[in-house]
């Protein structure tokens, strides 16, 4: 009985110190990962690493870029840049982890973050842009988009296939010759990577 009380008395300060040193859910932390690093709120580390690992696997298996490195950081606003560059030139992709739908539920990175990482790695490593204000790289839009879609994972691929089958049944699929000549319809232009204004991801 006395031994138990002594053990509890000795353990209490240790537990208090551990609790005080634990990162808060909203505190921004940097964690190493197989693909590089994540710099996000503590509560978002697992989601960021999961998406980064999926994108890293796709980079290796789809684009044959086993050594592709990138970082993932929290994007403060929806209209801020998707991709910036760390001081060493490596890409840093971002997501608004606190993003919420109209119902108030937080929207996870899902397939969208890895899709955008796919775009960036394809353009950065395989078919870069040769013009200053060009949207995307020099590859045809269908090829650029195909690379990004291939990053999305099996679940989203299955959804896309079901949708394609539905369109085919309704005879509303775009003819292949027209599809291969199409460009991104909204006229967006590529955002050139800029150095990170915040502290850089460290090695």
**Dihedral sign computed on CA atoms, order 87, 90, 93, 98:** negative
Q: What is the pLDDT along the chain (203 residues), one digit of tens a residue?
A: 444 443 333 344 333 333 334 556 678 899 999 999 999 999 899 999 999 999 999 999 999 999 999 999 987 766 566 788 888 888 999 888 876 555 655 566 778 899 999 999 999 999 998 887 777 788 988 899 999 999 998 888 888 899 989 988 988 888 888 888 887 654 443 333 333 344 444 43
Task: Give Dmax (Cα) for the chain.
Answer: 84
Domain spans of the chain, in order of start: 28-181
CA–CA separation, 72 vs 81, rounded Å? Answer: 12
What's the predicted TM-score (pTM) here?
A: 0.72
Rounded alpha-carbon distances, angstroms, from residue 64 to 1, 56, 57, 125, 194: 63, 10, 10, 10, 26
């Amino acid at each position: 009985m006395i031994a138990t009380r002594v053990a509890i008395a000795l353990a209490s300060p240790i537990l208090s110190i551990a609790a005080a040193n634990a990162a808060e859910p909203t505190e921004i932390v940097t964690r190493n990962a197989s693909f590089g690093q994540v710099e996000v709120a503590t509560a978002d580390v697992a989601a960021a690493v999961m998406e980064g690992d999926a994108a890293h696997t796709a980079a290796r298996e789809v684009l044959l870029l086993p050594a592709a490195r990138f970082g993932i950081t929290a994007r403060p606003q929806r209209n801020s840049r998707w991709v910036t560059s760390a001081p060493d030139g490596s890409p840093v992709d971002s997501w608004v982890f606190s993003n919420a739908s109209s119902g108030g539920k937080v929207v996870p990175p899902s397939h969208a973050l890895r899709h955008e990482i796919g775009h960036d790695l394809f353009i950065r490593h395989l078919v870069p842009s040769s013009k200053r204000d060009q949207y995307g790289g020099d590859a045809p839009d269908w090829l650029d988009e195909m690379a990004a879609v291939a990053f999305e994972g099996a679940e989203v691929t299955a959804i896309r296939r079901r949708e394609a089958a539905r369109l085919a049944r309704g005879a509303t699929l775009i003819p292949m010759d027209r599809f291969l000549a199409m460009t991104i319809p909204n006229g967006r232009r590529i955002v050139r990577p800029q150095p990170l204004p915040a502290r850089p991801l460290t090695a």
